[in-house]
A and B are shown apart, each in its own frame.
Chain A
């Protein structure tokens, strides 16, 4: 086991951490998919309103990646298809007849069957965090059993002590792609060390050590745009193993519901495509609903299901209070990674962070805060400036292909000028992708 220690970063402490006990919920009457929530997705529909679909029936794909099929997770009829900006498919609603008839799938291990199964869609690649092309192959595959973002699923608890299909999933990936598989877990745990055919790596529990981008940077760094690493979440690996063992499409997903606006944060086993309002409804209407974690997710609505790859739903308080002469106050209750408030002297307690930006946007004043939370060997300030000035050559030289917006989330968090660092990195990657 190779151990790697990350020394810069921070584990945000926010109230509303879900307990690791799985809660089953009633299956919803209707599920929905939102192709437009996937980046650069040009939807081609395979069904129309009123069609009957089974569990595992392909319902749409991306025109630029036509063999990667997205499948239904329930059986029933297509209830409605709604279109958004420039006829992009905003949502596909399916009535759940609760019968869960299964589409016939072959469980022979092959690339074709993986594509048909609908599970290829859960694999993503770095750089660009997108679903890989059906004909491509990775340099290596990364699997992390140690997500460190706020409200991340505790995978040790979920899979570590019960029967699972992780080894089967690894076997499938190994036999189809014949590449190295890197498996990372916390350095103080030995739960997953029995897994074979993988290279084990261990990181300390300090966010962003759990981010795939940071792990790739430390283990097998990306060198150029077409030097791809693939990754998938541990539960998707488990589902992959389950599919090729049992032959049925695993139509469920574990979702962690957390946040200080929730009355009962919990871990739920849900049907894929379950809408937010069917997952949870015990929160204030003014709260911000975020699909994904608070550092890298996206705002969503209660009538939508989670974004395709997300496994966290965060619900945060909104705070409209304006404090009189706040810049002068000692700040005993202020959450900060800097030493500028007296709260630093008080022992670490759960914070009451809200979606307040806590300041006005200013130009970049490089006091060195970003550097305190950036564990990668990247000159973040210079990379950000090269993106703002659209200097493609410089972006490449400074290592943009190794970067993902989520790896810079803490830089954006700590920035005293409130610079949208993550957004700028995302824009930079878009520029690079367009340029390819």
Chain B
């Protein structure tokens, strides 16, 4: 019956000149509810069952452990929750996180739809992942109106002005975050925003406490399991690794990017460890294994760096791109006095360099071809 209703609605929309331009909206709902039945017009006449919806939904599935743990951790960290049972903490967290999701999907979805209608193309599934990522990159205390503004900025400036999903240079979710980070720094850095409610209690994230030389009280296992303050999705390395497992198993996330990011981080932190005698900067002596569980390194590596569009697109390029992220994140964390966390900036920096990396890979490929042809 639902099927007939949709078909009837489509007929009406397509028969009316004015309504016609809103067809992308119907199409989005229609293909969300039912698989398509378009026939192939060109060879090959058979096609794989995979489509972009399936690919994108898998990233969302991979984010679920992070989502659930992050929501729980919001309650766990809050002084307002006295009974620290899982359910209590989760309920407290979901009251904060759910409105964030509603705002992000409403604001972002509206602009996605607007651009689809104006440009006359179908609504792309890319925002599904972007929208799911944005709240996870935010501190739990971020005001909802800010979240809406950031989301719109991420969608429009980060993606749509380049032509939409597939054409963007920067990761849209990170573009949203970096906007807030520089526009409203009080809400995004320091030791206030990480514990809900804001102004209730201040507690520094591990990176901040390390950089400001206050007593460092976090154990490695706390940081690995995620019982620490921080942005909603970044705290638990374990939850992130569960998602990484799914991404690697299904081949949706690039193992090259993830591995090379790790390698870059390990090499750079080992180097800085060797140099720690020249300065009393405590960040220089952070070990690679601590870098791995601190801040958003794991989250960024698994979910942000691997974005297929804004990352390097050649296999060799992915190695260089990952190494660059690993290198930059440690450099920003340790040597830059202004920002104790560097993952977001490192990825955006590497995003900007990804086309150049690819260009050099393609040029060297062409050179090799020419050498072979000259024989």
Residues of A with Cβ closer than 8 Å to B?
12, 14, 221, 223-224, 288, 290, 292, 294-299, 314, 316, 318-328, 331, 334-341, 353-369, 371-372, 377, 379, 381-382, 397-399, 405-406, 409-410, 412-418, 420, 422-423
Contacts and interface: CB of A to CB of B under 8 A. Distances in A.
28 contacts: A290-B43, A290-B45, A296-B44, A298-B43, A314-B45, A323-B34, A327-B57, A334-B49, A336-B50, A340-B54, A341-B50, A355-B40, A358-B48, A358-B51, A359-B51, A359-B53, A360-B36, A365-B309, A379-B362, A397-B366, A398-B369, A406-B43, A409-B44, A412-B47, A415-B47, A416-B50, A417-B51, A417-B166
Contacts of B314: 379, 382
B46 A354 contact: yes
Contacts of B167: 363
Contacts of A296: 43-44
Nearest to A397: B366
B57 A341 contact: no
Contacts of B36: 322, 356-360
Of A338, A362, A368, A371, most B-chain CB atoms within 10 Å? A362
Interface in B130-181: 163-167
B171 to A, nearest CB: 13
A397 B50 contact: no
Contact of A14 (B46, B51, B254, B309): B46
Contact of A337 (B43, B48, B313, B315): B48
The 8 A-B pairs of least Cβ separation, nearest first, read A359-B51, A363-B166, A326-B35, A334-B49, A322-B34, A327-B53, A353-B46, A295-B44
Interface in B226-267: 249-252, 254
Contacts of A397: 366, 369-370
Contact of A339 (B124, B251, B369): B251
A217 to B, nearest CB: 11
Given A367-B55, A379-B365, A359 B43 contact: no
B308 A413 contact: no
Contact of A364 (B125, B166, B372): B166
B110 to A, nearest CB: 21
B8 interface: no
Given A337-B50, A359-B52, 16 more contacts: A294-B44, A295-B46, A314-B45, A320-B37, A321-B37, A353-B46, A356-B39, A358-B51, A360-B27, A362-B51, A366-B308, A382-B314, A397-B366, A414-B50, A417-B51, A422-B42
Contacts of B85: none
Interface residues of B, number: 54
A416 B55 contact: yes
Interface of B: 3, 27, 31-40, 42-55, 57-58, 122, 124-126, 163-167, 249-252, 254, 308-309, 313-315, 362, 365-366, 369-370, 372-373
B362 A382 contact: yes
Contacts of A382: 314, 362
B43 A362 contact: no
A208 B314 CA distance: 22
Contacts of A322: 3, 34-37
B35 A335 contact: no
Given A324-B33, A327-B53, A363-B166, A318 B308 contact: no
Contacts of A339: 249-251
A170 B252 CA distance: 48
A417 B52 contact: yes
A365 B308 contact: yes
A360 B164 contact: no
A344 to B, nearest CB: 9
B50 A412 contact: no
A109 B248 CA distance: 60
Nearest to B39: A355
A324 B3 CA distance: 9
A336 to B, nearest CB: 5
Contacts of B254: 367-368
Contacts of A355: 39-40, 45-46
